[in-house]
Structure 1
Amino acid sequence: MAQEIAADANSADAAQEFQDEGAIIVTARRREERLVDVPIAVTAYSGEQLLQRGATDVTDIAQTTPNTTLEASRGTNSTLTAFIRGVGQQDPVSGFEQGVGIYLDDVYLNRPQAAVLDIYEVERIEVLRGPQGTLYGRNTIGGAVKYVTRQLPQEFSLKARAAYGSYNQIDGIVTASAPLNDIVRVGGSVARLTRDGFGENLTTGLDNYDKDIWAGRASVELGGYGEPVLIRLTGDYTKDKSNPRGGHRLVVGQLSNAPVLSDVYDTRGGLIDPAQEVEAYGLSMNVSADLGAGLTLRSISAWRQDDSASPIDFDALPAVDVDVPAFYRNEQLSQEVQLLYDDGGALQGLIGFYYLDAKADTQFDVRLFTTLAGLTGFTEANVDTETYAVFGDFTFDLTEQFSLSVGGRYTWDERTGSILRQNYLGGGSPVFGGAGVPFGSPLTNFNGKEDYRKFTPRASLSFQPTIDHNLYASYSKGFKGGGFDPRGVGVNAPDLDGNSLLSDAEISDFLSFDPETVESYEIGYKGNLLNGDLYVALAAFRMDYTDVQIPGSVACVANGIPTFCGVVSNAGKARFQGVEVEANARLARDLLTGGDRMNLALSGGYIDAKYKEYITNIAGLGPTDVADFRQVQNTPEFTGSATLSYSTDLGDGELAVSGTGSYRSKTYQFEIPNPFFDQDGYALFDANIVYTAPGDRFSIGLHGKNLLDKRYKTSGYTFVAADPITGDLALNNGQVIPTLGKEGTLTAFYGNPRQVFVSATVNF
C-alpha cells in the first residue's frame, strides 16, 4: 500500500503535513484525506512503489488487492477483464457494459479495449471496492480502478528509464518537462515496450504472447502550485502491434486428431487476417478553480477513441473452423462538472453533473468452412450509449467523533442498438475481404432503443474515538443499465425453428436484457496502531445482486443452418458476502532518521459468492432454475498476499530488497464449471532488488516475476456438448463432442511465465 500519496498541487502544503506524520493519503472521496479517515474499502499504490516492484501494467496490482481480478481478456493483448467482489464483465463486445469502472486521470473508459494500461509516469493507482457513483463519473456497480498520472514539476526535468530481460524484453521510457514561465509548464513521455513471445504459433511462425507497443503522453499545465486555478490539458496515444494471441488446445482435435501441445504458450491457429492492431488515443482538459469561501469548481472534459483489429482462431488449429476475424471501434465524449465545498468546518461535500455519449461498434465473422464449405456467419453490432447523471455526496461531523455521509445519484441511460446478422456462403464476408455472397435472409436486422432510469443512494456512519481509529458502517446501491444482445438471432426466435416470425416488439424484447442492481452493506475498521508503526484495515461486506446479466454464445441451428446464438439473460439473484483485511507493519526503523527499514504488507480476502436464482431456458423443460449448478466466474474464494521489504544504506545511496508471495484459490472461468478450464489454487512469488543513488540521481534494479514459473489459466473458449442443467461434459468414447465446428473448441489462455529483468532510471 502507498505510504505517501498526494493528489493535488493546490493542496501541497496540507499533503506535506500529512506525509510528515507518516499517514497514507488518498482522494477516494474527491478530497485529500488520510486513508484511515475514509469509510470506503480502498487500496492505494504510489508510483514509486509500483516501480520498486517492477509492475508493468495495471493487471499486476490484482495480486495484492483483496477480492480483485484484473487480466487481459481471452484472445487479446490489451482488452481488460475486471472483477471486484464477484462483480464484473468478461464479454468485451458492444452491448455489454463493464461492471468495474476504469478511470484514466478521472476520465471514465467506457470500453475495455486498450484498457490494460501500461505503468509509466504514474502518480498513484487506487482500487475502490463496492458500488461507486455519488462522487464522480459513471455509475459503476462493482468498484473502480483509478489510474492517475504525475503532474508536471515546477522545474526542468529529464528522465530516462530502460529495462532488459527474459524473452528479449526491451523497454525504454523518456520523460521530459519544462516551465515556459511562472505559470505554464509543458511535458510528456514516450514509451517503447517490446518483448518476444512466450511461445510460438507453429502454423504461422509468429511469436505468441509477444509485446510490441508504442505509447506516449503529453501535457500542458497552467497554474497550480499556489495559483487559484489549475488547467491541465493532456493527450495520450497507444499503438499495439503485438501478434495475435493464440490459445492452447486442451483436447485432441476431433477431426484431425491433432495432439495437445506440450508448451501451453504454443498454438497452431492459422488465422492472421486482419493483422492484429490496437490504436487508442484521447484528449482531456481538467480544470480546477478555487472560488473562495471553501468552494472549488472542477470541470473534466474528454474525448477518446480506439480501434482494434483482432484475428481470433477459436479452435487454435490451421483449418478454417471457428475462425473469427473481428473489428472493434469505440468513441466517447464526456463532460463532468463538480462543485466542492470544504471550509474546514463540520460540513464537506460536492454536487456534480456527468454526461457521456459513447459509440461501440463491433464487426466479426464466424467462419465454419469445415461445417459447410465457405459458410460464414457475419455480425455487425452498433450499440451506442447516451447518459446523463446528477449526483451529490455530503459529510457532516455530528460531533468530534461521529460523522454522517449521505449521497445519491440519478442516472438516465439511453441505449440504441443496430444489429445485423447475415450468413454468407463461398467465403468470408466482404467486410473482411471475403468473397462470400449472402446466403438466405438476415437472421437479425434490428434497430431499437431503450431507456433506463435509476436513483442510487449511499450512506455511511463513522465513529472515530481518536484520530487514529475509525469504525464505520455503510450502505450503497449500484446500477448498470440494460442493453441489446449483439449475437442475438431476432427473426425466428426464440425457438429458432423457422416456424413463426416474431413482431418487431417481440424481437426487441427477445434481443434486449434488463438492468442489474446491487445493494451493498459494509462494516469496517481502520486504525493506525503502535505509534503509527502498524496500519490495519478490516471490512466485512454483503452484496445482494439482482437481475444479473449473463452473456454468452452457444451453437444452434437457425433456418436450418448451423451457427451460434447469443444466450444473454438476466439470470436472477446472487449473494456475495465476505471479509477483507489489509495491514502494513513497520518491523524496524532507522533510529537516526526514523525512516522505514523493514516493512511487512499483508492483504487477504474471502468471498462466499453464490447464485440464489439462475433461470435459463432449457429445451423441453422451459425456464429452469439451475443455481445449484452454477459458479461465479473470475472470483476465487480466497485471495491473499504478503510483501516483505527491507532497505539499508549502501554508501551514500540506498539498497531496497522486497519479496511478494500471493495466492488465489480455485477460480471458475465460466458460470458453468468445466474441469478443463477451472483453475486450481496457485501461488506466485516475485522479488526485487533496487539500488538508488544519492539525491535520486539514478537507480538500478533486478526484478523477478513468477519466479517458480507457475502455469495458470486465466480465460478460454468452449464449444463442446454439455448437460444443460449440470454442465457436465457429454463424451463419446471418452472424447468431447463439438457443438460448433468439427474439431471441438476447448482453448485456454495462460498467465505470464517466469520473467527476470533489470531496470535502470537516470534523472538528468
Structure 2
Amino acid sequence: MFPILSIRSHARSRYRLLATCAVTATLAFAISQAANAQAVSQGEQDRPSENPTSVGTGAADSGEIFVTARRRTETVQDVPIAISVVGGEHIDNTGSFNVGRLQQLTPTLQYYSTNPRNTAVNIRGVGVPFGLTNDGIEQGVGIYVDDVYFARVASATFDFLDVERIEVLRGPQGTLYGKNTTAGAINIATRQPTFDFEGRAEISVGNLGFRQAKAAVSGPLSETVAARIALSSTGRRGTLWNTTSQRWINEQDNLGLRAQVLWQPNDNLSVTLAGDYSQQDPECCGTVFVRTGRTQRALNRQYEALANAQGYAPPSTDAFDRLTDLDASLNAGNKVGGASLKAAWETGIGTLTSVSAWRFWDWKPENDRDFTGLAITTLSQNPSQQDQYTQELRLSGGEGALGYTLGAFFFQQSVDTQGSQQQGPAASAWLINPSNPLNSDPSVLDGLTATNTIGLDNTSAALYGQVSWQPFAGLTLRPGVRLNYDSKDGDYASVVTNGAGQLVTYQSTDPRIVAQRAVLAPQAFTVDYKDWNFSYDLTASYEVSGEVLAYATYAHTFKSGGVNLNGVPSDGDGRPILEAATVAPETVNHYEIGMKARFWDRRATLNLSAFRTDISNYQALVTNGSLGVLRGYLANAGQVRTQGLEADLSIRPSLRFNAYVNAAWTDATYRSFTDAPCPPELSGGASLQDGQVPDAPGTPAGISPANCDISGARLPGVSKLALAYGAEGNLPITLLGEVGAVYLGVDGSYRSRFSSNPTPSAYTWVDGYALTNLRLGFRGGKGFEIFGWVRNLFDTQYFEQLQVPSGNTGLIVGTPGDPRTYGLTLKHLF
C-alpha cells in the first residue's frame, strides 16, 4: 500500500551506507597491510572472538571481569555496590546500540524519550522528572564516557561507539564521581588504543531498510604512541506512515566517529587525547492517535466535538496501524561532540588522574505540538546550543588496610535557546470557546507567534573523597564525603505578536488581544540560584568467605536546586511569579544492603540487593493544561519514596552454555504531594469554590479542583516488576575450513504496566509487555562471526510512552514500540 522507502530516506541511507562501507574497507585494508609490515605472529593472526560475558554480573567463561566503578580497577564481585555490567560483545549481539535499548538488558534502568531533548534516564524510578525537559535542573543519573561527564541526556539517544563495557551503578555515587549523582551512574568504557595491531569491522542489514556499519582500527604509531579510530553509521526507515507528507517518519539516521591517541612514555604515565563527533538527522518525532477520554471541559470543547466542528478525523483510530497525519514540519537534528585529555600518573602515593574535557550539543528540532492533521499549531521549535567544560582531578591509592580516593571537580555550562511557536488558521475554532464570536474568525489566532529566548550559565564545583579502612580481616569500612557549590543564572523572555504584527500585551483590553493572550502569553524574567551542599555516605562490607561478599550502605545526599527556564505562572496582571522561578534541592536518604556470591566452582554468580530511598522536596514537572501558556515548569513536590529488591543471576556450567536472569521489583510512590496537577479527567471544568465539591472524573462542564492530592500514587514510568533474561548454547563445528562454534541465543525482557503521565491518569497507563529476541550464528576461532537475528520475535504491540497534549481536550497520543525486525550481521576481528 505504501512505498517501502521514501525517495529522500532511500537516497540518504544508500549514500551513507556506501560511504561507511568504503571507509570500513579502507580501514580493513590499512590494518591488514600494517599487520603484514610488522610481521604479526601467527597467534595474533588467529585472535579469537571476544570472550562472551553474562548480562548483569558480567561473568565470563575464563578470566575476571574488571570494572572501574569506584575509580580503580577491580573485579565486579569485589565492588560493594549494586552494579550491572554489560559487555561490548553483548551490546552488539543484542542490538542494544543506545541507552534506550540498554533498558531491555538492565531492568532497574528506565528510559523515556519523545525526542532527543525530551529524554529521561532514571534508575529505580528516580533521576529526572518525567516529561518535557527543563535545562535549569540537573539529572540524577550521571552519564560518563571514559570518565567524561555528559551533562545533557540527549547523548543517550546516540549509538554506542566502540564500547568495551557498560557499568550501570545503582544508588547515590556522589563521593566517587565528579558530578553529584543521586540515583546512579552509567559508566561507559570504550576500547582503548593498543600497541598491538588490531581491528574490527561489522555490517548489518535488515528489514525496514535497516543498515548499520561499524569499524575500528588500533595500533602503534611509535614505541610510545598508539592510536585508535572508530566509526558507526545506522540508518533505518521510519515506523510510522505520515499520510500528510506521504513519508515514513521516526526513522533512524545516526553517524558517529571517535579518535584517540595514547602517549605512554613509561609504565608510570599515560596520556590520552580523544575526540568524538556524532550527528542525527531523522524526520522525527511523531505520534499516533491512541484514544480519547472525557475531561471536565464543556462537551463542545472536548476533542470529539472540536474535531467534528472542523470535519476532522485521524487517519486511523488503531494506533498499531502506525498511521499519523501530522502537518507541521518534523525534525530532530542533533549534533554532539567534544574533546578530552586524560592523564594518569602512577606516583609514590597513588594514581593521580586528570580529566579535562569540552563538549557541545546543537539541537535543531521541529514538532507538531497539536498532534493532529489540523493547522492549529503550525510551528513549534526550540533550537538550542550548549557548551560545557569540565576538569576533574583524582588521587587514588593506599595499600593493605587503608585506601583512599580524593577528588576535585569543576563544571561550567552555557545554554542558548531560541524558541518559536506559531498558531495556524484552525486555531481559533479549536482554542477559543465556541460561545465567543471570535471562535468563527480564523484570523484571530492565525499567525499568532511567540518568540522565546532562553539563556543559562551553570557553574558547579566540588570536593569529594572516600576512604577504605580494614579494622580487621574481612571487614572494610568506606566513609565518603562531598562538598558541592552550584550557581545558576538564567533568563527567559517570550515576545508574542499576532498575525497583524501587533504586540500581545497584558495591558490591552481589546477582545482579540485578550483571546490571543489566553493562548500565547508574553513573559520575561531573570533568575539566579546559588547554594552549598554537604553530603556523606558509609559502606560496610564483609567477606563472609572467599566467594561471598555482604555489604550495607547509608547515604545522605542531595540533587542540586535549579531554575525554571520554560516559563513560570503569572499573576492576574501578567507579572511572573518569581517564587516559582527557582526549585529547591532534593534531599536524599538512601539505605541499601546486598550480597555478591559465586558458587558451583564459580560456574554460578548471584548478586542480591535491597534498597530504600527517601527524597524530600522532590523536583516534579507541573503543567497547567492550557495550550501554549506554559510548556511545563518545575516545583518541589513534598516527599517521594522508592524501595525494592534486585537480583542478578548468571550460570555458566560449561563453555557450551550460559544463561542469565536479572529481576527488579520497584515500589516508587509519592509519599506526600498534596498540590499536584490534576489528571485530564479531573481538569478543565469550573474552578472549585468554597463549599463546593469536585464532580466525578470525566463530568463534562463539571467542577474541577485547583490541584489534586496524589500522595501514595505511583511515580510515572516505573514498572513494579521488570525482568531481563537470556541464554546461549553452542556446538563446535568446522565451517568453510574454519574451526568455530554454531550458537543459538535468546534474550528477553518484561515490564509490568506503568503510568505515562506525571500525575497518574486512567487514560495513560501503559500495559505490561514482553519482548523476545533471537539470534543464530557461527563464531569462528579467528575472529569471524556471522549471525541472523530477530528482535521482537512475536511482533508484540506495545507503547514506549503515552502523552496528554495540553488543552484538556481528552486527546491521548502515543509512540508505538518497534515492530518485529530481522536481519543479518557479519563481523570480523583481526
Whole-angstrom CA distance in 1 between matches of 2:193 and 2:123:
32
The one-character-per-residue Cα deviations of 1:520-559 (angstroms, maximum 9, x if unpaired) are 10011110111101100110101111101112333349xx
Q: How many residues align?
A: 697
What residue is the counterpart of 1:497 in the other structure?
A: 572
Helix, strand or coil at the partner of 1:64: coil
**Does residue 719 of the first structure (1) align with residue 778 of the second (2)?**
no
**Does residue 421 of the first structure (1) align with residue 511 of the second (2)?**
no
Q: How far has the Cα of 1:88 moved from its partner?
A: 2.3
Q: How far has the Cα of 1:78 moved from its partner?
A: 7.4
The one-character-per-residue Cα deviations of 1:692-715 (angstroms, maximum 9, x if unpaired) are 22221x211112111111222222
Q: How far has the Cα of 1:753 moved from its partner?
A: 1.6
Helix, strand or coil at the partner of 2:173: coil
Greater relative contact order (Cα 8 A, min sep 6): structure 1 or 2?
Answer: 2
Q: How far has the Cα of 1:157 moved from its partner?
A: 2.7
What residue is the counterpart of 1:381 in the other structure?
A: 454
Identify which of 706, 729, 744 aligns with 1:657: 744
Whole-angstrom CA distance in 2 between matches of 1:210 and 1:566:
27
Identify which of 648, 663, 669 aligns with 1:604: 663
**Does residue 478 of the first structure (1) align with residue 553 of the second (2)?**
no
Q: Which moved more, 1:614-623 or 1:193-202?
A: 614-623
Q: For residue 584 of structure 1, what is the amino acid of its counterpart?
A: S
Q: Which moved more, 1:89-98 or 1:226-235?
A: 89-98
What residue is the counterpart of 1:272 in the other structure?
A: 329
On the 8 A contact 1:141/1:517 being kept in 2, the answer is no
On the 8 A contact 1:703/1:758 being kept in 2, the answer is yes
On the 8 A contact 1:720/1:746 being kept in 2, the answer is no
Helix, strand or coil at the partner of 1:114: helix
**Does residue 748 of the first structure (1) align with residue 823 of the second (2)?**
no
Larger fraction in strand: 1
**Does residue 88 of the first structure (1) align with residue 127 of the second (2)?**
yes
Whole-angstrom CA distance in 2 between matches of 1:565 and 1:604:
36
Identify which of 177, 198, 204 aligns with 2:245: 204
Larger fraction in helix: 2
Q: How far has the Cα of 1:607 moved from its partner?
A: 1.2
Q: Which moved more, 1:698-707 or 1:347-356?
A: 698-707
Q: For residue 691 of structure 1, what is the amino acid of its counterpart?
A: F
Helix, strand or coil at the partner of 2:255: strand
Identify which of 412, 424, 430 aligns with 2:485: 412
Identify which of 366, 371, 385 aligns with 1:329: 385
Q: Which moved more, 1:565-574 or 1:128-137?
A: 565-574
Q: For residue 572 of structure 2, what is the amino acid of its counterpart?
A: D
Q: How far has the Cα of 1:196 moved from its partner?
A: 0.9
Identify which of 207, 217, 220 aligns with 1:176: 217
**Percent identical across equivalent pairs?**
28
Whole-angstrom CA distance in 2 between matches of 1:501 and 1:568:
18
On the 8 A contact 2:586/2:617 being kept in 1, the answer is yes
Whole-angstrom CA distance in 2 between matches of 1:627 and 1:263:
29
Q: How far has the Cα of 1:36 moved from its partner?
A: 1.7
Identify which of 190, 195, 198 aligns with 1:154: 195
On the 8 A contact 2:671/2:712 being kept in 1, the answer is no
Whole-angstrom CA distance in 1 between matches of 2:792 and 2:63:
31
Kindly report which structure 2 residues correspond to 1:638-717, keeping only aligned pairs within 5 A, or say none.
Answer: 638-651=721-734, 652-696=739-783, 698-717=784-803
Helix, strand or coil at the partner of 2:244: coil
Q: How far has the Cα of 1:26 moved from its partner?
A: 1.8
Whole-angstrom CA distance in 2 between matches of 1:612 and 1:172:
48
Flag structure 2 segments of 5+ consecutive residues without an equivalent: 1-49, 293-302, 429-444, 507-520, 678-686, 690-704
Q: How far has the Cα of 1:573 moved from its partner?
A: 0.3
Flag structure 1 segments of 5+ consecutive residues without an equivalent: 6-17, 428-435, 590-595, 722-736, 739-743
Kindly report which structure 2 residues correspond to 1:586-605, keeping only aligned pairs within 5 A, or say none.
Answer: 586=652, 588-589=653-654, 596-605=655-664
What residue is the counterpart of 1:457 in the other structure?
A: 536
Q: Which moved more, 1:139-148 or 1:115-124?
A: 115-124
Flag the 1:110–1:700 CA change in 2: closer, same or farther, 3 A: same
**Does residue 317 of the first structure (1) align with residue 380 of the second (2)?**
no
Whole-angstrom CA distance in 2 between matches of 1:501 and 1:199:
42
Flag the 1:421–1:616 CA change in 2: closer, same or farther, 3 A: farther
Q: How far has the Cα of 1:52 moved from its partner?
A: 2.7
What residue is the counterpart of 1:290 in the other structure?
A: 346
What residue is the counterpart of 2:406 in the other structure?
A: 351
User: TM-score, structure 2 length as denominator?
Assistant: 0.80
What residue is the counterpart of 1:563 in the other structure?
A: 629
**Does residue 305 of the first structure (1) align with residue 360 of the second (2)?**
yes
Flag the 1:630–1:656 CA change in 2: closer, same or farther, 3 A: same
Q: How far has the Cα of 1:102 moved from its partner?
A: 1.1
Q: For residue 497 of structure 2, what is the amino acid of its counterpart?
A: Y
On the 8 A contact 1:315/1:747 being kept in 2, the answer is no
Helix, strand or coil at the partner of 2:361: strand
The one-character-per-residue Cα deviations of 1:185-209 (angstroms, maximum 9, x if unpaired) are 1221122211111122211123212
What residue is the counterpart of 2:259 in the other structure?
A: 218
Flag the 1:465–1:510 CA change in 2: closer, same or farther, 3 A: closer
Q: Which moved more, 1:359-368 or 1:33-42?
A: 359-368
Flag the 1:241–1:712 CA change in 2: closer, same or farther, 3 A: same
**Does residue 342 of the first structure (1) align with residue 398 of the second (2)?**
yes
Q: How far has the Cα of 1:375 moved from its partner?
A: 2.0
Q: For residue 749 of structure 2, what is the amino acid of its counterpart?
A: S
Flag the 1:624–1:246 CA change in 2: closer, same or farther, 3 A: closer
State which structure, 1 or 2, has the greater radius of gyration over its C-alpha atoms. 2
Whole-angstrom CA distance in 2 between matches of 1:51 and 1:655:
17
User: TM-score, structure 1 length as denominator?
Assistant: 0.87
What residue is the counterpart of 1:10 in the other structure?
A: none
Flag the 1:511–1:615 CA change in 2: closer, same or farther, 3 A: farther
**Does residue 65 of the first structure (1) align with residue 131 of the second (2)?**
no
The one-character-per-residue Cα deviations of 1:14-54 (angstroms, maximum 9, x if unpaired) are xxxx9897433222111122222211100001112222323
Q: How far has the Cα of 1:367 moved from its partner?
A: 2.9
Query: What is the RMSD computed on CA atoms of the aligned residues?
Result: 2.5
**Does residue 33 of the first structure (1) align with residue 74 of the second (2)?**
yes
